[in-house]
Structures are given as C-alpha cells and as structure tokens.
Amino acid sequence: KQEVTQIPAALSVPEGENLVLNCSFTDSAIYNLQWFRQDPGKGLTSLLLIQSSQREQTSGRLNASLDKSSGRSTLYIAASQPGDSATYLCAVYNFNKFYFGSGTKLNVKP
Amino acid sequence: NAGVTQTPKFQVLKTGQSMTLQCAQDMNHEYMSWYRQDPGMGLRLIHYSVGAGITDQGEVPNGYNVSRSTTEDFPLRLLSAAPSQTSVYFCASSSGASYTFGSGTRLTVV
C-alpha cells in the first residue's frame, strides 16, 4: 500500500526566506506526483504536476523536483510571501487513485 | 464558472440518518472521485468512477455508496451515518492529469 509522508508538518518563516517542503512515498510505481495548495476552509488547488518521466517542474517562484527511485519529492518556494501561507499537500497518482500526504502547514510572517 | 460544485457546504446529521452529498461537474470529465479529509490524515479516497455506469472502491469505502448515471453527476450516499463519518468531503473530477476539486462539504454526525 502506497504511503505518503510530508515533513515538516508545520513551518513558520519570516517573509522573504527560501524554503523547502519534503514529500516521500513508499512505492516508486507512480504515474505522476502533484503538489496542491489548500487554504483554510477551501478546496485544493493544483500547483505543479510532475510526470513520472520528469525530474522537475517550475511555475513562477515554485519549483518541484521528483526522484522516483528514492521515493522523494521537494517543493521549493523562493522569496516567500505572506500570501503563500496555506497547507501544501503532496499526492502521488497511479491506477486512478491519488494517495495524499497529510500536508505541511506553512505560515509566512510579514 | 466551469468547475466542480458540491452541495451542501455544511450538514449536521444524527447517528443513523442517511443523506446524499451532491457533486456535479460541467467539464465533461470522465473521471470523478470522492475523498474525505480528516485532521492529520490527509485525504483518503472513498470511491471513484471512470465513466457513467462504472464505479469502484477506494481506500475507505465502508458506509458509503455511489452511482454514476450521468457524466456530470457523482453523488455520495451515507446509508446510516456514524460519528466516525464526521469529516470534510471533497469531490474531484479529471480529464487526464489535470484535477479539479470542489470546495468541500463539512459533515458532522452527532
């Protein structure tokens, strides 16, 4: 059974810092990996999708990497802003199913 | 606006009551799914459907039923609500790798 772990569970940083969120998964047989953002009381917004054949994806200040063989992904956020405060969820996808981590709750202080 | 619509947004049930959570999408997506989100546990897949007339179980299907009579709708039925079903429920639809989540239904069973 696929298990997805995210570390740390919570993170508080001052505005402007670069930061890394970590995601690990136990079964490397994945179709893709996605990073989502969830604001309090809201649904999930897809941030980045990495296909299993890719190593990284970038969108603005966000960069996600994937090392399938070691079962790891990282989400790098550059020059963090208070508006980045949210919970970030990692999910691996295979055989019509997403397996989610429990998320990293990020607080960026002004 | 195109997307996934979930109703109701909030619901309180008494133990033993039944109800249906509604999910509708207007993007003509073949794939739809239901997740529940509990504190510290991430999202877990309840049921999913790869097209009208086709459904399958996810990770935590017990106590829930689904049907898919049209491409647009994928209702989730709670047969006899239990306090353990207190959670936030998300519906998602997909065409290929792009996923769209609804804004969620917060259900409390007392």
Give residue-wise pLDDT tens across range B86-101: 999 999 998 876 788 9
pLDDT of residue A103 exceeding 90, the answer is: yes
Average pLDDT of the segment spanning A73-89:
97
pLDDT of residue B1 exceeding 70, the answer is: no
CB contact at 8 A, A47 and A54 = no
10 Å CB burial of residue B28 (0-12, 13-18, 19+) is: exposed
Among residues A57, A9, A50, A10, which one has the least CA distance to residue A30? A50
Least confident of A9-23, A40-54, B81-95: A40-54
Beta-carbon neighbour count of residue A81 at 10 Å?
A: 12
Average pLDDT of the segment spanning B3-13:
96
Q: Give the pLDDT confidence score for residue A42 in this predicted structure.
A: 84
Rg (CA), chain B: 13
pLDDT of residue B109 exceeding 70, the answer is: yes
Amino acid symbol at B5: T
Contact yes or no for A102 and B35 at CB 8 A: no
Rounded to whole angstroms, the Cα distance separating B106 from A45 reads 18
Chain B residues with CB-CB distance to A36 below 8 A: 101
pLDDT of residue B107 exceeding 80, the answer is: yes
Query: What's the token pair of residue A39?
Result: 């604001």
Q: Is B81 on the interface with A (CB under 8 A)?
A: no
CA dihedral A94, A9, B59, B90 (to 10 degrees): -90
pLDDT of residue A60 exceeding 70, the answer is: yes
CB contact at 8 A, B104 and B87 = no
Restricting to A residues 27-66, those with a Cβ less than 8 Å away from any Cβ of B are 32, 34, 36, 41-46, 49, 51
- Tell me how many residue pairs between chain A and chain B have CB atoms under 8 A apart: 53
Instruction: Give the residue from B7, B27, B37 with the most A CB atoms within 10 Å of its CB, the best one to mutate.
Output: B37
Confidence of residue B41 (pLDDT cuts 50, 70, 90): confident
Q: Is A1 helix (H, G, I), strand (E, B) or coil?
A: coil
Query: What's the token pair of residue A101?
Result: 């981590």
Q: Give the pLDDT confidence score for residue B97 in this predicted structure.
A: 67
Pick A102's closest partner by Cβ from B33, B42, B104.
Answer: B42
Tell me: the pLDDT tens digits for B55-78? 999 999 999 999 999 999 999 999
Average pLDDT of the segment spanning A33-48:
91
10 Å CB burial of residue B32 (0-12, 13-18, 19+) is: buried
